[in-house]
A and B are shown apart, each in its own frame.
Chain A
Amino acid sequence: MSLSMKRIFAIVRKDRKDSMKSANIVPVLLIPVGMALMFAYVMPSDLDMMFEMYVGVILLNLLFISGVVPANSLAEEKEKGTLRMLLYTPTSIAELLIGKNIHYFCLSLIGVLLSLLILQVPISWGYFLVAVIPVAFFCIVLSSTVGLLANNNGQIMITLFPVIMGMYFISSMADLYNVAFIYTIKRFLPIEIFYDAFHVSFYGGSFPWFSLVVTLCWITVISIIFAVVYRKQRYT
């Protein structure tokens, strides 16, 4: 299988134009940035509170853009019939997915950077990369897998959205309830590296190796599932 970079970047450019005009995608992009703007004005004085609030908003931004939008976009291509049209061109599903994922990966980074800028969160670039890139990668692969399986946006909202929001709430609320089993689940979530990297950057401490390994394991698992789904779905 040979991949054409020209076709991949044509898909990136098309998705950039198309997603900026989509009533499904634009709100998903704007809501977290809007929340960041809102929180920037309601700045808590307590450092712990500030940490929870800021990191929560930025994580929500990342999860929405990299976790929901790629699946949404792929399902829309199926629903509207443009996927069929693309498959009548020399474009392969692999090129389509890579093009889409590059676009949404960049959009995720822009969204997170924008939130960081609005909230003026102090974080080193090293920890920023450790926090954002593995989580964005995991979410995009998860989202693409669900996008390949789903036929419309309704199915995405029923299946993927609860998973993404479930991870978000467990991760951001576990400390509030202080229940052992929720705390254990939180430690093994693929997005925990995000909290841990920000935590170390805020308060200091040792590098969050455990969370990083957990996330890398999750990335391996979801990549295998994606490969199986891709092989099964490309002739469907």
Chain B
Amino acid sequence: MNAIIEFEDVHKQFKEKKALTDVNFSINKGEIFGLVGPTGVGKTTSIKLLTDQLKPSEGTIRVFGESVTGNHTQLLSKMGILSDRSVLYERLSLYDNLRFLASLYDRPVSTIEDILEHVGLASSRKTTYKHLSKGMKQRANLAAALIHAPEILILDEPTASLDPSAKANVHAFLRQLNEQGSTIFLTSHDMNEIESLCHRVAFMIDGTIYLCGEPAQIRSTYAAPTVTVTFADGNVETFNNSYTGMTSLRNAIESRKVQSIHSDEPSLTDIFLDVTGRKFA
């Protein structure tokens, strides 16, 4: 695998408070990686370190094999960054905002129309930013993050303030971007979002990574060794996945009408709670 973002033994301390402790993970090219945890556990600090807005107390963060410290300008031209607090200039039109950003990245003005088409805001190009709806603003912010065709998209709680429909639109767009080759680093406290979007996830609590892997792999690791069968008559029975359990299951399926069969895999939320012993906030 080709890792393009690497956190190696990263610690971050703010005076008395430890924000990150021994954080290690890497993100491969072309994947959607989710950093998940409740509010205030160090997700945004990780992004600030990644974007050279903060310096790690210890450890190294590399992007494309280069340390981020001191490479601010070069690295930020390869990254698109969006958070739920992202804003554009409210008195300027959407087009003027994007034109300003395009000139900061030295991109041709022609890219603006393509991006606006892409995020479905072509008809709102002359609307001032403050007159856009919340969902449209977030799509405009996404357009701003994509104006320079970044190789990595960093999303800090991108849908935290959106309604379900706007959230679904953003998710669909992110999948589309990923299919086109973008690598996406996403932080969220919404486990459903992480589960539906990410190829790999890392659980973070109090600045420490507790678990990292593919959602399906994590679920199967923590799955109970049982299968639950609901029969047409309404009866529900659980079968162990041992040899005898599976034989009983085969006999039951042959003799009775089955409505559904489910493996007893826990959700990522259940696993998170189990592993970290913490509640989501």
Contact = CB atoms under 8 A, between A and B. Distances in A.
Contacts of A87: 53
Nearest to B101: A89
A85 B144 contact: yes
Interface in B83-126: 85-92, 96, 100-101, 103-106
B51 A92 contact: no
Contact of B77 (A21, A81, A86, A90): A90
B54 interface: yes
B107 to A, nearest CB: 11
A15 B154 CA distance: 27
A235 interface: yes
B85 A81 contact: yes
Interface string B66-95: 000000111011010100011111111000
Nearest to A19: B91
A85 to B, nearest CB: 6
Contacts, number: 60
Nearest to A81: B87
B87 A88 contact: no
Nearest to A14: B100
Contacts of B92: 14, 17-18, 21
Interface string A81-122: 110111111111000000000000000000000000000000
A13 interface: yes
Contacts of A17: 92, 96
Contacts of A88: 51, 76, 79, 81, 145
Q: Which interface class (under 10, 10 to 19, 20 to 34, 35 or more) fits B?
A: 20 to 34
A236 B91 CA distance: 26
B91 A22 contact: yes
A80 interface: yes
A136 B216 CA distance: 63
Given A6-B106, A18-B89, A84-B85, A90 B54 contact: no
A90 B106 CA distance: 10
B103 A6 contact: yes
A88 B85 CA distance: 12
B85 A235 contact: no
Contact of B72 (A7, A84, A90): A90
A235 B76 contact: no
B73 A85 contact: no
A10 interface: yes
B103 A85 contact: no
B89 A82 contact: yes
Contacts of B73: 2, 90, 92
A89 B105 contact: yes
A102 to B, nearest CB: 15
Contacts of B79: 88
Contacts of B51: 88
B76 A89 contact: yes
Q: Give 6 nearest A-B pairs by CB, closest first.
A: A10-B103, A21-B91, A88-B81, A90-B73, A81-B87, A14-B100
Given A6-B106, A18-B89, A82-B89, 18 more contacts: A2-B73, A7-B103, A10-B100, A10-B104, A14-B92, A17-B96, A21-B92, A22-B91, A80-B90, A81-B85, A84-B85, A88-B51, A88-B81, A89-B76, A90-B73, A90-B104, A90-B105, A235-B55
